[in-house]
Amino acid sequence: MLPFFLHRVLQAAVILVLVSFVGFAITLAAPGNALQTFIDPGVSVEDLRAAEQRLGLDQPVPLQYLRWIGEVAGGNLGWSTRTGAPVADLIGARLGPTLTLMGTAFAITLALALWLGTITAARPYSFLDYGVTGAAFAGISVPSFFSAMALIYLFSLQLGWFPTSGLESYAAEYEGWRRLLDRAAHLVLPVTVLVLTGTAELVRHVRGAVVETLQEDYVRTAHGKGLPAGRVLRRHALRNGLLPVITLVGVALPRLLAGSVVIEVVFAWPGMGRLLVESVFARDVPVAMAINMIAASLVLLGSLLADMAYAVVDPRVRYG
Amino acid sequence: MPIRFVLAALLAASLSVATAQRACETVGGTATIAQWSEPGNLNPLIFPTTYDTNIQELVFARLIRPLADLSFEPDMAESWTVSDDARTLTFTLREDLTFHDGEPVTAADVAFTFTSMADPAYDGGRFAEISILEGAQAYRDGEADGVAGIEVLDERTISFTTVEPFAPFLPVIGGVYILPEHLYGEVPIDRWQEHATNREPLGSGPFVFDEYRAGEFVSVRAFEGYWEGRPCLDRLIVRFGDQNTLLAALLNGEIDAAPVPIDGASSVDDHASLDLQVVETLTFQYIGTNLRGPVLSDLAVRRAIAHGVNRQAMVNGLLQGYGTTLNTIFPTNHWSYPADVEGIDYDPEAAATILDEAGWELDGDVRVKDGERLALRLFVPTGNQVRERTAPLIQANLRQIGIDVEIRTMDFATLVTFLLPRDDQGEPRPVTAGDFDLFLLGFGIERDPNEYLSYLIESDMPPNGYNFIGVDDDPVEELMREGRVTLDQEERQEIYREVGRLMRASLAWIPLYQAQDLYGVSERLDGFGPDVRGVNVNVAGWSVD
């Protein structure tokens, strides 16, 4: 198994370098640069040009790329062209809030989707199945910004149960468990939106996979042996049905860190997605590239982990 | 005998006594306000945008500051004098001024701040503002050890000398926040942007910087040693985020004051504990025309566009009445606006006649002259929702008079690449007729109409300046140059008003509308009162119940 994964890691490294170059070229292909957004009567074009030269924005793309990748290889992600802040600090500050939001949502989504997917698979075409399927289609069809605003309107503005936005109540300066509760309250609405859309997607896959395995001979055999239905469902059908779901989970991993732009904007959540979008509009290449690279690494890592998970879940899979 | 601004100084001195025991409704508490974008740089000498300045003005103080009519009153300087030849301004600092860390504010700090702007290694974009100082260019070019025109006379006295009398010099001085030399002087100037002081500023303004959480808020706390007396609030938080998000937070009582998008005006107005404040600004929107091509260089076409666009409908519909149309390139509430300027009526029939007479004849739906179709591209930058929505209106209006408009929406950075084009090697090049036809953009006077200079003189056409449009109008240029050196305010006013009349006649910028800013303010917050100078003008006097 080890040589196989070494091979995969090497492959991933090559892909990363390729991604970095293509990503850099595409990012720089967007018209304009960070400084041009500063044009203002008080700023002369000579002054803009001088600043541009200091930042090396006037150099050809391959040269800028080499300089950047050299720094990154040496462990320096550089400085934001817009604010001068170290890129590592900017990303570091977003890591916690992003993981909190996306991780909470993902854990709930996964549990909910597995449960709903299995019970609907056990009773296909029942009232319950139709209900969940209908809800899932609704969840997929309604854009998340809309459900987010609807939830804010209902639960914040009308009922006053939850705050509309932000990480916590900034003016209150809570300490200890009160702060924890306050933060949890701020998490409820954004997590709900993410869970609604995420579960809607995943539950159909789980249901489909489990329904399929329920037709298999070994499931009939298990029933025939007189195993209780619940045990057959969980130990035989669900476990085998999980294989394709694992792939989807692996693909979802990058999202945990890359965040969700829409949710972060609507809920003023200081996450990675907003940082990426803002840096793209500000032509802040070092920040945008760092996030791109993190996302690319996670995609590769996600598929690698999914492969490993196959080996764990399915005893037939052996890498060698 | 120097001309002493005795009256102004006396008046201000008496005012400052009254406010030293600030009349606070209450003292203490935290207020939360909001803005629509995160600040970029908190060092005021690095490419300041409005979102940056809104934070900087809480933490920093300057020598003089603008009044609502954009004349100036003493701030950290208690008085100033002007020399007979009108080239030297001498400022005297108040006694016992301190920065937030307790160090005294001295003339040396002032000199350091202004000299930094001309440092050869400085690239924060503000050298041009002070390039009029004697010896500034020489220092910038590395030919001198300091700026000859900046002279520290003693601890509390500093003089500035310009190469020629420069009318808008007070606005320049009033636009620069004073940095503590003992902190900022320790950092190499070309590393200022990367340095921590760019995110954790320290000045001598009403509030002490407290915390900056990226993507969330900036927090500041009352400065006990502020020369005008400590602010009424203990703490002020400025959140940033999406317009509608912040509106929801305002409606839900999580924020005490926030700008309100026009679509949200009624929800704020109808809210029991919120007050809608309507604030005049000095910003307006216009259609820029590329004067280089055969079509738009024709005055008849520009006149037809001006009369063919229903600007009042924009104000009534898109602005819901929160604004006004304007008839030249100066904001209507600024002293430079000529009240007698000829109006621009919406009159599609007259517009069609103008085009007929100029030889643009209808061929189907679109007019043609000498084989040239009257078809124009309109570049629309994103970021201002109302402005974006004017584009289809303009398109529909102009279709009626036989002008075909193609809308191209793009982000601001992309628009800039058309207005300030580059050649294949990436070098800035002159604008050509093909780069763009029409574009939508806003312009605002920050402190003085001299800010228009680079937009209106021939030598500042790209790549040398901001005259994207290609204005080449000798009388306008002469007046704009005269405005810089004319010290008498009445004469100066007449000069800019004449520029306004000439620009109305040439319609190189087709003025559209001047929007008002809307703010929602909670009952809990007293004293919040933005005006043309910005959102925080009287921040030290805000208080919460």
Residue A29 pLDDT level (bands cut at 50, 70, 90): confident
Residue in chain A lying closest to B382 (CA) = A281
Mean pLDDT, chain A, whole residue set: 86
Mean of pLDDT values over A274-285: 90
Residues 6+ apart with CB under 8 A from B57: B177, B205, B534, B536, B539
In this structure, what are the phi and psi dihedrals at residue A125, rounded to the nearest 5 degrees? Answer: 60, 20
Q: How far apart are CA B416 and CA B400, in angstroms?
A: 30
> Reduced to 3 states, what is the DSSP secondary structure of residue B280?
coil
Cβ pair B214:A93 closer than 8 A = yes
The whole-number pLDDT of residue A28 equals 85
8 A C-beta contact, residue B284 and residue B314: no
A87: closest CA of chain B, how far (Å): 10
Alpha-carbon Rg for chain A in angstroms: 24
Residue keyed to tokens 């009369």: B307
Residue B21 pLDDT level (bands cut at 50, 70, 90): low
The whole-number pLDDT of residue A43 equals 85
Residue B7 has pLDDT above 80, yes or no: no
Residue A189 has pLDDT above 90, yes or no: yes
Q: How far apart are CA B364 and CA B443, in angstroms?
A: 37
Residue B4 has pLDDT above 50, yes or no: no
pLDDT tens digits, A116-125: 988 888 788 8
> Which chain B residues touch A275 with a CB distance below 8 Å?
214-215
pLDDT tens digits, A208-259: 888 888 788 888 888 888 888 888 877 777 777 777 777 777 777 777 777 7
Residue A66 has pLDDT above 80, yes or no: yes
Q: How far apart are CA B402 and CA B415, in angstroms?
A: 26
Sign of the alpha-carbon torsion through B466, B472, B474, B476: negative
Pair of tokens at residue B300 = 């008849």
Residue B8 pLDDT level (bands cut at 50, 70, 90): very low
> Reduced to 3 states, what is the DSSP secondary structure of residue B3?
strand
> Reduced to 3 states, what is the DSSP secondary structure of residue B259?
strand
8 A C-beta contact, residue B394 and residue B405: yes
By C-alpha distance, which of B176, B170, B165, B126 is closest to B484? B165
| DSSP state at residue B541 | G
From the list A49, A86, A164, which residue is nearest B254 (CB)?
A164
Q: Which of A47, A52, A174 to mutate to test the interface with B (most CBs of B within 10 A)?
A: A47
Residue B236 has pLDDT above 70, yes or no: yes
In this structure, what are the phi and psi dihedrals at residue A245, rounded to the nearest 5 degrees? Answer: -65, -35
Establish, for the pair of chains A and B, how many residue pairs have beta carbons separated by less than 8 Å.
175
The whole-number pLDDT of residue B346 equals 97
- Give the Cα-Cα-Cα angle A74, A79, A80 (nearest 5 degrees): 140
Residues 6+ apart with CB under 8 A from B22: B228, B229, B230, B231, B232, B540, B541
CA distances, A137 to each of A133, A189, B23, B226 (Å) = 6, 20, 60, 60
User: How high is the ipTM of this complex?
Assistant: 0.87
pLDDT tens digits, B93-130: 999 999 999 999 999 999 999 999 999 999 899 999 99
- pTM of the predicted model as reported, rounded to 2 decimal places: 0.90
Cβ pair B413:A33 closer than 8 A = yes
> Which chain A residues touch B462 with a CB distance below 8 Å?
45
8 A C-beta contact, residue A160 and residue A221: no
Mean pLDDT, chain B, whole residue set: 93
> Which chain B residues touch A152 with a CB distance below 8 Å?
248
Type of residue at B394: I
8 A C-beta contact, residue B114 and residue B160: yes
Counting beta carbons within 10 angstroms of the beta carbon of residue A155, is it exposed (0 to 12), middle (13 to 18) or buried (19 or more)? Answer: middle
pLDDT tens digits, B329-354: 999 999 999 999 999 999 999 999 99
Cβ pair A85:B214 closer than 8 A = yes
Q: Where are the alpha helices (DSSP H) in B259-373?
A: 265-269, 299-308, 311-313, 348-357
The DSSP code sequence of B127-161 is: HHHHTTBTTHHHHHTTSSSS-TTEEEEETTEEEEE
Q: How far apart are CA B192 and CA B484, in angstroms?
A: 32
Residue B545 has pLDDT above 60, yes or no: yes
Residue A17 has pLDDT above 70, yes or no: yes
The whole-number pLDDT of residue B135 equals 96
Give the rounded distance of the alpha carbon of B507 from its chain centre: 22
Report the interhelical angle of A87-122 vs A239-258 (nearest 10°).
150
Cβ pair A275:B41 closer than 8 A = no
Q: Which of A189-198, A287-296, B386-395 has the highest mean pLDDT?
A: B386-395
Of the ranges A164-173, B13-22, B49-58, which one carries the lowest mean pLDDT score? B13-22
| DSSP state at residue B516 | P
Residue in chain B lying closest to A29 (CA) = B414
Residue B66 has pLDDT above 60, yes or no: yes
The whole-number pLDDT of residue B18 equals 39
From the list B216, B413, B451, which residue is nearest A41 (CB)?
B451
| DSSP state at residue B92 | E
Residue B358 has pLDDT above 90, yes or no: yes
Residue B379 has pLDDT above 50, yes or no: yes
By C-alpha distance, which of B443, B400, B398 is closest to B302? B398
8 A C-beta contact, residue A156 and residue A162: yes
Cβ pair B193:A48 closer than 8 A = no
> Reduced to 3 states, what is the DSSP secondary structure of residue B470?
coil
CA distances, B137 to each of A45, B111, B142, B235, B272 (Å) = 16, 16, 9, 42, 57
Provide the b/e sequence for B63-81 (b: ≥16 CB within 10 Å): bbbbeeebebbbbbbbbbb
Residues 6+ apart with CB under 8 A from B396: none
Residue B512 has pLDDT above 60, yes or no: yes
Residue B10 pLDDT level (bands cut at 50, 70, 90): very low
Residue A319 has pLDDT above 70, yes or no: no
8 A C-beta contact, residue A260 and residue A276: no
8 A C-beta contact, residue B27 and residue B232: yes
The whole-number pLDDT of residue B15 equals 42
Type of residue at B402: G
Give the rounded distance of the alpha carbon of A158 from its chain centre: 30
Residue in chain A lying closest to B237 (CA) = A171
8 A C-beta contact, residue A271 and residue A101: yes
Q: How far apart are CA B442 and CA B283, in angstroms?
A: 7
The whole-number pLDDT of residue A1 equals 61
Residue B1 has pLDDT above 60, yes or no: no
The whole-number pLDDT of residue A207 equals 86
From the list A43, A85, A165, which residue is nearest B199 (CB)?
A85
Give the rounded distance of the alpha carbon of B132 from its chain centre: 20
Residue A320 pLDDT level (bands cut at 50, 70, 90): low
Mean of pLDDT values over A84-104: 93
Strand bridging mode B375-381 / B404-410: parallel
Provide the b/e sequence for B154-174 (b: ≥16 CB within 10 Å): eebbbbbbbeebbbbbbbbbb
The whole-number pLDDT of residue A165 equals 95
Residue B16 pLDDT level (bands cut at 50, 70, 90): very low
| DSSP state at residue B289 | E
pLDDT tens digits, A50-60: 888 888 888 88
**Hey, which residues does B89 pair with through a beta bridge?**
B82, B160
From the list B217, B245, B412, which residue is nearest A170 (CB)?
B217
8 A C-beta contact, residue A34 and residue A285: yes
Cβ pair A43:B237 closer than 8 A = no
The whole-number pLDDT of residue B441 equals 95
Residue keyed to tokens 């924890």: A180
CA distances, B184 to each of B93, B109, B128 (Å) = 20, 10, 21
Asked if the peptide bond before residue B463 counts as cis, ω within 30 degrees of 0, the response is: yes
